[in-house]
Chain A
Amino acid sequence: MDDSRNIKILIVDDEKGLRTGTKRLLESEGYQVECAENGTDGIKAGSSKEFDLALIDLKMPDVDGIKVMKEILKVHPDTICIIATAFASYETAIESTKYGAFSYIPKPFTPDELLHQLEQAYSRRELLLEKEKWTKEREERLLEVAFEKTRLNTIINSTSDGLLVVNKNGEAVLFNPSALKFLKLENLVVEEQIMDKLHPEIAELINKFLKNRTFEKKSYSTQIEMEPDQKLFVEATSSPVPHPDGTLAGVVVVLKDITELKKIELLKSQFVSMVSHELKAPIAAVYGYLKLFSDSTIQLTENQKQNYITRSQIRLEGLLKMVNDLLDISRMEMKTVNREIKEIDLCEIIKSISELYQLEIKKKCLQLEIKVQEGTHFLHADKDEITRLITNLLTNAIKYNRIGGKIEINVLSSNRYIVVEVKDSGIGMKPEEKAKLFTEFFRAKNESTKNIGGTGLGLSIVSRIVDSYSGKIEVESEYGNGSSFKVFLPIEIGHSA
């Protein structure tokens, strides 16, 4: 016998000679043998651990062999039992197999008879174990499949993209809540005809496949405004679903909410159109003057010529400034600004800017007053950006001021912020002008701003810089009565960045 099988067998017999003899025989054949000298012990031994085989004597003084077998089988139904009996008869054989014995062996038996029986019994045991293993595996797989299915359903139902599967007959076979939301359907039943309920463009996407009835590996996409006024834009993509045999089973439609993308797209094209318009104006002006110079039918005076050259220069300067501002904005947008964050002295920056604009300030006879609260003028930031920010605010305060007016610059601290306030006694703003203040190219257009030049990008740049430092900006203004811009910048840039 093959020792590696390590077959465990229990012998239950009240005859000591037979027990020990059989034990010795079987051990020599490689079996692992345990013995019980009566029925009670046999039940105990056979139930407490699982034996491959059990050889049980039918007649024992305390409990008979059939009862012992039944008790063992209750706990270990795969233990193969053989009943040994000296009273071999047809009836006992029938009875023992009826209660679950694999076979019976008449006593006395020869070693060969016993070993032959045990071999057969063990084959049976192996078959049982194999069957058990397969059953268990099958159950596990079924469980796994069920789990997979619920998991897939959960994923499909919780995804924000809409999913709709339609079969060849145009019936809905799978859909998730997002799909119902995008398709504006209150409820939908599986296998319900859906084609009439769909937005015509989506139905068209599905029909492209259903009409052909053949499976083609390609997708169709379209963008649909499901709710007017930019409220809901959906991108629908339809793809064919194949049968395992390669024919068309149905169509899957994936619906994506692209409302935000559409809004950004619109903003972008509006911005581009606005930029083009703003760039075109100065170019057209200069081009117009050049045309006057080259027109032989027009006689220009020296005065006119000089005036047109000056005007052209002014418009080109403005154009150049605007292009520079736009480049700055685009650098900020693309975050390609090379920042050098270090401790900077606001006092120093404000002083050097106001010196730079001394001429303009004097021209308008303005009075500039700078007040700095003790110990508040140090800030961690990029010097160029802060210089740009304060320059834009100060030049506005100069440009939109009245002759003989006043400009105040106050630096103070408030919580973890440093506040820079630029206050002027200028023309102020109307509420509707204030609302558009930080919009690109917006410039207050009225009697008093008629002769003030600018790109309309200064405050837009200010607000971008303030945003990039996680700061904020507050504006107070009354039409005709001056404006005040308060910029709040975090003292430690690290805390907010």
Chain B
Amino acid sequence: MDTEKKKILLVDDDVDLLEQSKVQIEAKGYSVVTAENSNEGWEKFKTEKPDAAVIDLMMEEHDSGFVLSYKIKKESYGKNIPVIVVTSAAYITGYKFDVSTGEEREWIKCDEILNKPVVIEELVQKLESYFAEKVI
């Protein structure tokens, strides 16, 4: 059994939400590192080597989250960790991303897109299933 806590990288420019998510995810038995923008996220990814990344879509730019996930997924280490992008785009624009099938898969390099507000239990469940796949 893996006694080492899994490390999750959280990137969001909403500092309150970032802090709240961090505390909740930590309570589920993970270790959490946070970043308030995509540059900091990229730096933390390189230095902390997280086991998964959860990135907000809209930060400095409308697609900052996709750009960061793309960069992570292109990296030799990054392509093997689950990257989840969270967004309230569906709530604001009505547009629903779908990365399970179709052309969006082609250009969106993350593994999962979750709508905000994110239910922490759901997020943790997703992460767990990704970790389980990797073990098999």
Question: Interface on A for B, CB 8 Å cutoff?
Answer: 273, 277, 281, 284-285, 288-289, 291-292, 295, 297-300, 304, 308, 311, 315, 445-447, 450
Contacts and interface: CB of A to CB of B under 8 A. Distances in A.
B16 A288 contact: yes
23 contacts: A273-B92, A277-B92, A281-B14, A284-B117, A285-B14, A285-B16, A285-B17, A288-B17, A289-B16, A292-B20, A292-B23, A295-B24, A297-B27, A298-B24, A298-B27, A300-B23, A304-B23, A311-B16, A315-B16, A445-B60, A447-B37, A450-B36, A450-B37
Nearest to A289: B20
A311 B16 CA distance: 8
A74 to B, nearest CB: 91
A420 B46 CA distance: 50
B127 to A, nearest CB: 17
B17 A284 contact: yes
A285 B14 CA distance: 9
A308 B23 CA distance: 11
Nearest to B60: A445
A119 B92 CA distance: 99
A16 to B, nearest CB: 114
Contacts of B23: 292, 298, 300, 304
B43 to A, nearest CB: 13
Interface of B: 14, 16-17, 19-20, 23-24, 27, 36-37, 60, 92, 117
Contacts of A285: 14, 16-17, 20
Contacts of B60: 445-446
Given A285-B14, A292-B24, 18 more contacts: A277-B92, A281-B14, A284-B117, A285-B17, A285-B20, A288-B16, A289-B16, A291-B20, A295-B24, A295-B27, A298-B24, A298-B27, A299-B27, A304-B23, A308-B19, A311-B16, A446-B60, A450-B37
Given A281-B14, A446-B60, A288 B27 contact: no
Nearest to B26: A298
A292 B16 CA distance: 12
Contacts of A295: 24, 27
Contacts of A292: 20, 23-24
A155 B133 CA distance: 78
Nearest to A285: B16
Kindly list the 9 A-B residue pairs having the minimum CB-CB distance in the complex, ordered from nearest: A285-B16, A288-B20, A298-B27, A297-B27, A292-B23, A311-B16, A292-B20, A298-B23, A288-B16
A269 to B, nearest CB: 13
Nearest to A277: B92
B24 to A, nearest CB: 7
Nearest to B27: A298
Contacts of B24: 292, 295, 298
Nearest to A315: B16
A64 B117 CA distance: 119
A297 to B, nearest CB: 6
Contacts of A288: 16-17, 20
A318 to B, nearest CB: 11
A300 B14 CA distance: 20
A445 B60 CA distance: 7
A273 B94 CA distance: 13
Most chain A beta-carbon neighbours within 10 Å: one of B14, B19, B92: B19
Contacts of B14: 281, 285
Contacts of B36: 450
A446 B61 CA distance: 10
Contacts of A308: 19
B57 to A, nearest CB: 15
A388 B26 CA distance: 45
A299 B17 CA distance: 18
A452 to B, nearest CB: 13
Contacts of A297: 27
Contacts of A450: 36-37
Nearest to B15: A311
A50 to B, nearest CB: 88
Contacts of A273: 92
A281 B14 CA distance: 9
A496 B27 CA distance: 64
Contacts of A447: 37
A314 to B, nearest CB: 9
Contacts of A300: 23
A446 B60 CA distance: 7
A256 B103 CA distance: 43
A291 B17 CA distance: 12
B11 to A, nearest CB: 14
Contacts of B27: 295, 297-299
A121 B27 CA distance: 125
A446 B37 CA distance: 10
Nearest to A450: B36
B123 to A, nearest CB: 14
A277 B93 CA distance: 12
Contacts of A281: 14
Contacts of B117: 284
Nearest to A446: B60
A277 to B, nearest CB: 7
B114 to A, nearest CB: 16
B28 to A, nearest CB: 9
A287 to B, nearest CB: 9
Contacts of B17: 284-285, 288
Contacts of B20: 285, 288-289, 291-292
